[in-house]
Structure formats: structure tokens, C-alpha cells
Homo-oligomer: A and B are copies of this chain.
Amino acid sequence: MTELVRLLTRAQKLLRAAADDAMSRHGVRVGQNLVLEVLWESDGLTPGELAARLHITTPTVVNTATRMESAGLLVRRKDPADGRLVRLHLTPKARAAQRPIEEARRRLAEHATATLTDEERRHLRSALEKIIKQMSDEDNPLDPAVPKGTSSPE
């Protein structure tokens, strides 16, 4: 029960650590590689659009983009039509890293699931999708026992 959550957390953590290790060999951290993955397909997105696709918040994208800009992976350009928007464009350096990074990611995923049969992978995918659907559908108020602001401010 709770055990399943623990296993899921542990597996994800091991995968993330391995991914960060692999990505670091290519001069990119694990979070940045997710930004790259989207921009490789859709260059020139805004921070807000990127955040929506990655299921993270806009400030997180902004901060990551700033680090990537320092690393020479992307540049910011103001949208000529709408002064509020900023568009993120990849540099040649970022594009050159696409092939090896995608290869590293593929190899990692293959290694992680190497001991699973095709049927086990299908079951795993199905179960994860059910959990994701359940958790994102309605964020119903679990544990209404203690209202949010009432807990011991001291």
C-alpha cells in the first residue's frame, strides 16, 4: 500500500540520479535536458508554454533558462508582436548535443527496464497511467481532518 509509493519514489530517484550522471557527461544537467527535449522539437517557445508542456511552474523554467543561457545553450529574444513575451531559442551548441543526449537517454531507459519482459512493461505503463489519471483528474481534498491554516503556527 504505502509500500508501493515508496518503491515508486525510490525507482524514480535512482533513475533521476543516473540520468543526471549521464547528462552531465554532455555538459547538461537533468532538468535542462527536459527543456532541450522540447525546444529541439519546438524552438522559440515562451517560458510559460514550456512550463505547461513540462508540467512545471514558470519560475522554474525561467531559472533553468537563465542557467542554460549562461551555459551558452539558448538565447532570449523579445517577441516583436507582444512585448510581454520572451522566446527561448536554442544555440548551435544545444543543437549539436541533441544526438548524443538522446542516445544516452535511450540507453539509460533500456538499461533500467532490461530485466522486464514486454508484458511487464505494458503492465507497468498501464498501472502508471492509471495512477497519473487518478492523481491529476480531480485533486480532491484528501484528509479534511485538519483544515489548512490551523496547524500550530507556534
Contact = CB atoms under 8 A, between A and B. Distances in A.
Given A115-B134, A147-B25, A151-B27, A108 B142 contact: yes
Main secondary structure of the interface of A (DSSP, over half): helix
A78 interface: no
A14 B123 contact: no
Nearest to A111: B142
A41 to B, nearest CB: 14
A141 to B, nearest CB: 9
A146 B100 contact: yes
Contacts of A15: 5, 8-9, 131, 135
Contacts of A7: 125, 128-129, 132
Interface of A: 1-5, 7-16, 18-19, 21-22, 24-27, 55, 71-72, 93, 100, 103-116, 120-121, 123-136, 139-140, 142-143, 145-148, 151-152, 154
